[in-house]
Structure 1
Amino acid sequence: MWVCKVLKWVGLSGVIMILGGPFCHVRAANEIETITVTGSRIKRSVQSDSASPITSVNANMLSDIGANDMRDLIEILPFNTGAQNNSDNLSQNYTVGTSNVNLRGLGVSSTLVLLNGRRQVTSSVVTDQGASFVDTASLIPSLAVRRVEILRDGASAIYGSDAVAGVVNFISRDDLIGSELQYEYRKRVSEGSQDETKIDFAYGADLGESGYVLFASSFLDRTSLLLEEVDWAQPAFSSFGNPGSFVIPSLASPQNPQGLTVADEHCAQNGGVVSQGSNNNTFCLFDFAPQITVVPDEQRLQLFVKAEWTWTETAKLWFEAGYADNHISREVSPSFPVLNAPTVLASHPDNTFSEDIFFRGRPYGWGKPTEQNFYEHQTKRFALGIEGEANQDTYWQITYVNAVNDALLNPRDVIADNFQLALLGFGGINCDSAQGPGVDSCIYFNPFDPLDPNNERLRGFIIGDYIGNLESKLQVIEGHISFAEIFELGDDYVDLAIGAQYRKESIVQQYDALTQQDRFAFLIGNQNVAGSREVSAIFAEARVPISSIFELGLAARYEDYGSLGGDTTNPKISMLWRVTKSLSMRSSYSTSFRAPSVHQLKGVQTNFANITDPTDGSTTFGGNRTVGDDSLVPETSTALNFGTSFSSETMSLDVDYWRFTFDDVLTRESHQAVVNAMPNDPSRVVRTSAGTISVVNTKFINAQAIETSGVDLVGMYNVKTRYGRFIPEVSAAYLLSYDLTDDVGNTSDGLGKLNRNTVGNPAPRLKGSVGVRWINEAHQINAFLRHVASYENDVSGQKIDSFTTFDTHYSLHMGELLKPDTQSTLTIGILNITDESPPYVDIAGSYDPRTGDPRGRRAYIKFKVGF
């Protein structure tokens, strides 16, 4: 049974929750109030009435596992697979500084994220695959979190779109009376110098019968980590370097119709690596791995306030407001590749080929300082509502949410036409072309000598700012009413909840003139976009007690998207069987959906991608431009869950079998698949005059299907001895299947694979942790062994090793030792004690950022004082 256990430890205030079981809302000894459980609109006296698989983590457990922020919690959840929480330059072009959730590996858009049961605005930036998501890094300061509930089941019948794989609900505190201040410092204890400082503050006041107020703030200062600082990174070569390569038209052949590519003759002595390609082409390779930022520099501020006022004896008003501002910078290569193959005339003073040639490379490479890219993410949100009881058996609520997420994008890139002018001898801000090439203030860029001082003089002319201002808005009006005991059925009563929701979603993306004109040599550019849609919904839910030990749950929701997405109806049926006082069994079946995002319907997205050209075998980065399609249809899914729970005074064990069938998956076409299938189609693969790939044109599509199944295991055992209390625990998810079908009907088995060029996500068979807690009066030690099973790189066929880390933490609850009327706690810990490197993957960056953790061994100290 999903029995809600509250374990009161000697010397500890609050409660410690069993990971895997729901959380009882405790106000005082022996008092349990009716509450709303994630996944239901019906209030219940205890959460053991829930027939859905729920994992709940309270504030104490967030501290026990060594979580610095929500990203750390998400990463260790065994049910999360493929979330994008590492700042990878190559797969997170514009989402750096954000974090998200990916339950069951069904996509970051397929998990609904709530705050206090209410929807959140999606980030104005999308993933490289065009997926929208809620930025969990912007939700709520850590000290304001009371618990996090994870519903591991489809829930569109209750919450609507996006709840395909489940729901993550962040619930704020309402139990803090007084103030808490927490300081934490953590540092990478390995090669490299990455560290972070975090200061949190929270204040809560009980206004008596008038209400309650909570204020919380958090500031994080994090320094960066580059791959040049670690010892596990392997070279990541680009065939566009400096020293570069040159395409010689006079050496054209049927195999090389634009000309033969030859590496700079001084390639090796100037830091490059000569590589032999197909058809006698040679390339001067540039290793950009050292400049890849795996932890960005961040300064993040979060504010949150919540207030409740008693309006009448049966109703109360409440208000919430939140603000988050994150400034990020990260280092990248000295300059990005120039993809348009600019011309170097025979008249160039340093051209020894005696003919016009094409340059294949970048203006700044070996021996030059890294470039800095800047980003800012800002979220503003407020919500208000009124709720109350019409009588003892009727509860009602009306809410309004208004939220905005803004992003500023400021990467820096080569201005293509300016670089071409510099190669022609007309470089420089003050150049007057009438003076002639290389005369007076007109300067030649020398692509044959990376140490030429004129090249550095031209940096301000060649490199420009790509500026994007993006905005995503959400407005939600929702009301529902819950009736308890509407009529008698046997020895119990039927409960019912009904409601309606209206929401409006919109995006605006505006870019500077250079960006709109596609004038950048690598990032290309982007176009202004604006779009919006309105959604209306009605829903109902009922709890039907068939007998004293068997319960049936019924729910349904209808949503209407108008002309953008159509409409859909989704049901859910669940069953709960209380076999004995200690044993229960549950099952559920539901259909869910996710409508295309406004971005996927109306947006335009240009980013860069690693592209292999099948015509010559060369690999480089190129532009990938994806356009929206307003004929897209919603993703649909079915979810099936069977579970059992056993609970006693000393033990809790939960086992669930689950299966999701996911159809019409919304994704972006694979750029590599387009290149492989249509390498010479100019409408899909745009090439330069030298024959190199400049841009791949893709579109958002409804791919075919993902079908996945597995087993969850969550358990703990509570042992009380004369030496203290020992609590062994386990939490794991084991995948049984992960079958993928692409947009043309090809099926593949993605189980235990990276799924690099598919609609899927990395799918290791096993992910989980085992741990033990020891508590003895004021002392507590926690130790956890975390494991991700090995899997396969489906592109290269190479094995990706398993990733096993060991964490430990010690806490001393000092009580009033420092000062009367204060409660102080000191915690020290080490994460990844053995300094395990992320498993090697044969991709740029040397690891899988959606599964591995590049941060290495980290030590931290945390001091918390309540007063």
Structure 2
Amino acid sequence: MKGSFTKSAIAWSVATAALTTSNALHSQESARQTQAVEEVVVTGTYIKRKSQLDTSTPLRTYGQDEFSAAGIKDARDLIQSLTINAGSQNNADNLTQNFTAGTSNINLRGLGVSQTLVLLNGKRQVVSSVVTDQGSSFVDTASLLPNLAIERVEILKDGASAIYGSDAVAGVANFITRDTLDGTELQIERRSRSGNGSQDDTNIDFAYGGDLGETGHVLFAASYLDRTSLLLGEVDFLRPATSGFGNPGSYTLSSTGETVPDPNCVENGGIDGGAFCRFDFGPQVTAVPEEERLQAFARSTWDWDETTQVWAEFGYARNKVTREVSPSFPALSTPTVLASHPDNPFGEDVTFLGRPYGVGQPTELNFYEHTTTRFAIGAEGEVSDSVSWNFSFVRAANDAILNPRDVIASNFQAALNGFGGINCDPTTTAAGEGECLYFNPFSIDDPDNDALRDFIIGDYLGDTESELDAIEFIVSGNDLFELPGGSAGFAIGAQYRDESVSAVYDSITQQDGFSFLIGNQNFSGSRDVYGIFGELLLPVSDTVEISAALRYEDYGGSVGDTTNPKLSVLWAATDSLSFRFSGSSSFRAPSVHQLQGAQTNFANISDPNNNGESTFGGNRTLGNPDLAPEESNAFNLGASYQLGAWDIDLDYWDFSFEDVLTRESLVDVVNADPNDPERVVRTSAGTIAIVNTQFINAESIDTSGIDLALKATYDTNLGTFSPIFDATYVLDYEFTSGGVTRDGAGALNFNTVGNPTPELRANLGLSWSRGIHNANVFVRHVSSYDDNRDPENIESIDSFNTLDLQYSVDLGELIRSDSSTALTFGVINATGENPPFVDVAGSYDSRTGDPRGRRIYVKAAFSF
């Protein structure tokens, strides 16, 4: 049975007691309000409860008030602030987030962006049709719904495959909508970078909620984002990031095999690099791309009769992304400049090592468009006073149009041979005659070169799509039989999912016709998943409650089936002290892309044959139908204590993974044998052109740590003060890659199956309110960590500390008598801290640091 607990783990968990009766980051007033409402389903269980505070697993909730107080504007900002998140790919730089530019994802515990299940009102969402550079599928959190439509986000910090199935390995993020909004809200915000360089966000958010007839309710929300770009050439923390492929370029002589720089390298703006004329591409790396994002969401509920309610949801998101890149990418196709070329100073055939456009040329533009649609319907009702049912159907799709631009290898070679130009006919015209032009790589200002740009640089076009159909039926009850602590509860259900992905590329891309991006192949794949599951809630005494869950899923084919259990225990030791324990096994099947997809991207590769110097090269990965599922065990042991005004929450968590699904580390492939012609394909000059990798089951990942959260509220004559503290400390983060086990805690873990893992992340905040005035201060800390790419020369990466400030004033009925107006002024990263330096192209770790610097914002909010 895949993913099952060991017998000893089960025996130990049955004997262990623990749980929290309070969420440490919820105020006492919030708890009282929550307990006054009717029973609801909360994240992590299908059994209805009075409140999420009764659950036996660690759950963190973020509401609209917390978003506003912390200056959080979208999912990316929320994820960036989470201490339990590590390694999300939300900074759309040119080097680590390529086809996924404009998307965001969550990475709980640094276990991978595929390991956290993202739900919308408790139901699944389609994964993005583009995958990360590592080949991981994820839900694009930027496409879920407008910010004003969100009531709260519940994050389950525990394995939940026994409840929700595959992907809930590291936890669950459940976005829940504002089903009780009554009225209209409008927010307009301008957020601008202050300091060197400019970058602006203009946000317009709208939400309306109201009655639909006498028995229904409707929620409609829309948002619009206009975001301008930020190039690293505008910031002051960038250090040179050079490539041996520039223009002016370098040449390999056919007579001797010697590589020499362009004779006019330095004079024409190149950088002397010995045998190579180097090009600094760092200033053209996009830290923040230009975006135009439109989102809309609608949800309606109707009371069908006294015991049945039906609902329907519709969501739409479109994000158009424009990103600047180098004037042209390196031409890794080893083009040849013939001795007959009229500008060839060498008098013999030479191989050109460079790019057609470099120094002094304008940046090139890449375009991406992500569109997500989602339709869901459902109904829920009561069979009796104690038994209810729930049915839902979800259909969702994500479509991405990819249009990076690159050098067409055959056209560039033709232009070097004197047959360049759209109207050139090499069968009737001699080289360099008529409309047939020579491209001159020895000059940076030859007018023929400019005339050939549209002939040499072409559109790499791709259309990828991901689809999801999901049907779920659940029956639950809270009066199964009586126990000393009360009535036992239960839930049973079944789920069917149809998942598919596909990609179609233009003919040049399919034929690997580009010099740098190479190409990609068309593919399509799909699968059906069937699951049945059940839960049992046993209040064995007034102070002890045991919950158990079991889920069976069948994927068919080589993946097969799995059965996963979860056990959790609550012990309310006193009125102010409680403990919790939860233990589970989890299972994540290979994604459809990992089984049947194809992916080619580029990477910064350290070459042992060239003194470890970095170069750009292609990384090609094909789906592997023989992949096995990954399996894991997880447990959480926690305690909660109320000490006067303080709520204190402490958790110890542990995750152990086997057969981890990932793409092979290209570093491991190159270092294992840098001269393997099948895996490491080199140009005629000896530089790396392509590294061939595959999706594999790596050996293991083991991580553990501690979460600590504190919150209090004090009412004084000076106003109400609410201090909070939230921290995560990673005790252990070990992973095995390429047969080598690494200690990744407090390390960068670049280009491996691991993620950047600073040992400590912490947030310290203080909120104050008095009358119409509110103010908030947040200090955020990410500890220093090591650049461990070279075990013989480990460099320290500095800590990252930021200060956020905010003040808001409620202007009351400024607009009209039945309205409310509020103005908010704030600054993110008030001290203007730069992300810590890391010796990679771009000069910072894009999965940990934030390149946006100090950002000042002004927001006007209207309610009526």
> In which range does the TM-score fall when normalised by the shorter chain?
over 0.9
Q: Report what 1:55 is aligned to.
A: 60
Q: Residue 599 of structure 2 aligns with which residue? A: 605
Find the counterpart in structure 2 of residue 260 from structure 1. 258
* Aligned residue type for 1:240: F
Q: Output the CA distance in 1 between the equivalents of 2:339 and 2:207.
A: 69
Partner residue of 2:280 out of 287, 304, 314 = 287
**1:507 partnered with 2:501:** yes
1:202-236 per-position Cα deviation (integer Å, ceiling 9, x unaligned): 00012465121100000000000000110110111
Q: What TM-score do the two structures reach when normalised by structure 1?
A: 0.95
Amino acid at match of 1:604: A
**1:85 and 2:109 matched:** no
Out of 356, 362, 387, which is 1:363 matched to?
356
Per-residue deviation, residues 174-194 of structure 1 (Å, max 9, x unmatched): 121111111011100111111
Q: Superposed, which structure 2 residues align to 1:383-394 within 5 Å?
A: 383-394=376-387
Which residue is equivalent to 1:779?
773
Aligned equivalents of 1:41, 1:601: Cα separation in 2: 31
Mapping of 1:627-638 within 5 angstroms? 627-638=622-633
Question: Bigger CA drift: 32-41 or 782-791?
Answer: 32-41
Q: Contact 1:21/1:56 (CA < 8 Å) preserved in 2?
A: no
Residue 436 (structure 2) pairs with residue 442 (structure 1):
yes
Question: 5 Å matches for 1:481-496?
Answer: 481-496=475-490
Residues 129 and 464, structure 2, Cα contact 8 Å, conserved in 1: yes
For residues 614-647 of structure 1, the C-alpha deviation after alignment (integer angstroms, 9 at most, x for no partner) is 2233531111110000110111111111101123
Instruction: State whether structure 2 residue 575 is matched by structure 1 residue 581.
Output: yes
SS of the aligned residue for 2:669 comes to helix
Deviation at 1:652, TM superposition (A): 0.9
Report the equivalent of 2:729. Answer: 734
Measure how far apart 1:68 and its partner are: 1.4
Q: What are the equivalent positions in structure 2 for 1:36-55 lying under 5 Å apart? A: 36-55=41-60
Matches of residues 15-414 of structure 1 in structure 2 within 5 Å?
A: 18=25, 26=33, 31-207=36-212, 209-251=214-256, 259-276=257-274, 282-414=275-407
SS in 1 for 2:839: coil
Q: Report how far residue 72 of structure 1 moved.
A: 0.3
1:837 to 834, 837, 842: 834
CA distance in 2, matches of 1:287, 1:406: 35
Contact preservation (8 Å) 1:21, 1:54: no
Secondary structure of the corresponding residue to residue 419 of structure 1: helix
What secondary structure sits across from 2:816 in the alignment? coil
Partner of 2:530: 536
Matched, 1:809 2:814: no
Find the aligned partners of 1:172 and 1:564 in 2 and give their Cα distance: 38
* C-alpha distance in structure 1 between counterparts of 2:28 and 2:634, whole Å: 20
Deviates more, 1:691-700 or 1:444-453: 691-700
What corresponds to 1:555 in structure 2? 549
Q: 1:634 is matched by which residue type in structure 2?
A: P
SS at match of 1:250: coil
CA contact (8 A) 1:4 1:22 kept: no
Q: Which one-letter code corresponds to 1:783 in the other structure?
A: V
2 CA distance for matches of 1:841 and 1:632? 34
Q: Compared with structure 1, are the counterparts of its residues 600 and 314 closer, same or farther at alpha carbon in structure 2 (3 Å cutoff)?
A: same
- The secondary structure found in structure 1 opposite 2:609 is coil
Contact 1:76 1:768 in 2 (8 A): no
- CA shift at 1:819, angstroms? 1.6
Question: Using a 3 Å threshold, how does the CA distance of structure 1 residues 209 and 644 change in structure 2: closer, same or farther?
Answer: farther
Q: Following the alignment from structure 1 to structure 2, what is the Cα–Cα distance between the partners of residues 612 and 550?
A: 56
Deviation at 1:448, TM superposition (A): 1.0
**1:498 correspondence with 2:492:** yes
Structure 1 residues 438-477: aligned runs within 5 Å: 438-477=432-471
Q: Deviations 1:577-611 (Å, cap 9, x if unpaired)?
A: 00111211001110111110000000010001112
Q: Distance in 2 between matches of 1:571 and 1:430?
A: 67
Give 1:25 shift: 9.7
Post-superposition offset of 1:564: 4.3
Match of 2:858 among 831, 838, 861: 861
Match of 1:655 in 2: 650
CA distance in 2, matches of 1:25, 1:65: 24
What's the offset of the Cα at 1:491? 4.2
Which amino acid letter does the alignment assign opposite residue 566 of structure 1?
G
Matched AA of 1:265: P
Structure 2 contact 328–355 (Cα < 8 Å) conserved: yes
Q: Which amino acid aligns with 1:275?
A: G
1:823-847 deviation digits (Å, cap 9, x = unpaired): 1111110010010000000000000
RMSD of Structure 2 on Structure 1 (CA): 1.5
CA distance in 1, matches of 2:809, 2:25: 21
Q: Match of 2:610, SS?
A: coil
- Matched residue type, 2:824: T
Q: What is the identity, as a one-letter code, of the residue corresponding to 1:300? A: R
Alignment TM-score, normalising by the size of structure 2: 0.96
Instruction: Name the stretch that deviates more: 433-442 or 212-221.
Output: 433-442
- Secondary structure in structure 2 of the residue aligned to 1:306: strand
Measured after TM superposition, the shift of residue 4 of structure 1 is 5.6
Q: Which runs of 5+ in 2 are unaligned?
A: 1-18
- How far 1:22 moved relative to its partner? 12
Q: CA deviation at 1:672?
A: 2.5
SS of the residue corresponding to residue 413 of structure 2 reads helix
Once the 2 structures are TM-superposed, how far is the Cα of residue 816 of structure 1 from its aligned partner? 1.5
Distance 1:211 1:4, change over 3 A: farther
Answer yes or no: is the 8 Å Cα contact 2:22–2:640 preserved in 1.
Answer: no
Question: What is the SS of the residue equivalent to 2:488?
Answer: strand
Aligned twin of 1:691: 686
DSSP 3-state at the match of 1:703? strand
**Residue identity opposite 1:699 in structure 2:** Q
In structure 2, the CA distance between the partners of 1:845 and 1:100, relative to structure 1 (3 Å rule), is same
How far is the alpha carbon of 1:20 from its aligned partner?
9.4
Pairs aligned (count): 841
Distance 1:721 1:828 in 2: 24
Whether the 8 Å contact between 1:652 and 1:716 is mirrored in structure 2 is yes
Instruction: Please list the CA deviations of residues 96-151 of structure 1 after superposition, one character each: whole Å capped at 9, or x if unmatched.
Output: 00000000000000000000000100000000000000000000101000000000
For structure 1, which segment, 450-459 or 798-807, has the greater mean C-alpha deviation from structure 2 after superposition?
A: 450-459
Separation in structure 2 between the aligned mates of residue 185 and residue 690 of structure 1, nearest angstrom: 50
Alpha-carbon shift at residue 2 of structure 1 (Å): 4.3
Measured in 2, the distance between the counterparts of 1:625 and 1:728 equals 50
Distance 2:408 2:315 in 1: 39
State the match for 2:5 in structure 1.
Answer: none
Distance 2:437 2:69 in 1: 61
Counterpart AA for 2:742: S
User: Which digits, 9 at most, give the CA deviation of each residue in 1:259-315, with x for residues without a partner?
Assistant: 111111211111111113xxxxx1111000000000010000000000001111100
Deviation track 1:348-374 (CA, whole Å, cap 9, x = no partner) reads 111121111100000000000000000
Could you tell me which amino acid in structure 1 is paired with residue 766 of structure 2? V
**Distance across 2 between alignment mates of 1:594 and 1:488:** 36
Equivalent residue for 2:616?
621
1:19 positional shift? 5.1
Distance 2:448 2:766 in 1: 63
The alignment status of 1:426 with 2:419, answered yes or no, reads yes
Local SS of the residue matching 1:60:
helix
Letter of the 1:755 counterpart: N
